[in-house]
Amino acid sequence: MATKDFAVRTEPHVANLGALGELHFIPEVFGDEFLDGYTQVQAAQAALSGEQDLTKMDPEALRDVYGSMRGFLARLMTPESAERFLRFEVIKTGKVFDHFRSREEAEAKAAELGPTARVEDNSMRVPDRVLIELLEWTTELYGGGNERPTTPSSGSSRASRRAGTPGKGSSPSKGSTRTAGRSAR
């Protein structure tokens, strides 16, 4: 009988955003949680029709892409972090009546409450480059790192430096030795 041990994370992943605080992401995704959200991000990005210059993009389409990215990330966060990251408050008579993680839900509730109700976006503000870095990081965490989301190049961040220093040791594989100067056998 063969035995194989599998590591299953139980502690949340932590994204430290400096002065903005930490965002905690669920330890593991199950089923289609990751793929469903990632599909929404890709669909929103496809609506940009491959445009790379942010100044030429339709503002509404760009808003949809960023909204999809934020929604995708919030789905992967612990409830406490998601509450801080995406928060649309319904205000009536100067007081918070209720709050939601999507503008659509908040707008629907405000419409139910009448013309004096309004929606206020009190979501965590993060720079676009950090939003993109979070998207790339979570894609590596949950998606196996095989595929990175595509983003407009002018909004892309610089690649992170690799940890550690490059090794100077020789490869243990005989197939990777240099062949220059050797004669064929």
pTM for this structure?
A: 0.68
Q: Exposure pattern of 8-20 as b/e (b: 16+ CB <10 Å)? A: eeeebbebeeeee
Q: For residues 143 and 137, what is the distance between their CA atoms, to the nearest angstrom?
A: 10
What are the pLDDT digits (tens) for 2-53? Answer: 999 988 888 999 999 999 999 999 998 877 777 877 787 787 777 666 656 6
User: What's the pLDDT at 36?
Assistant: 79
What are the pLDDT digits (tens) for 59-94? Answer: 777 788 888 889 989 999 999 999 999 999 999 999
DSSP conformation class of 77: B
User: What's the pLDDT at 141?
Assistant: 86
Contacts of 11 (CB under 8 A, 6+ apart): 27
**Residues 92, 109 contacting (CB under 8 angstroms):** no
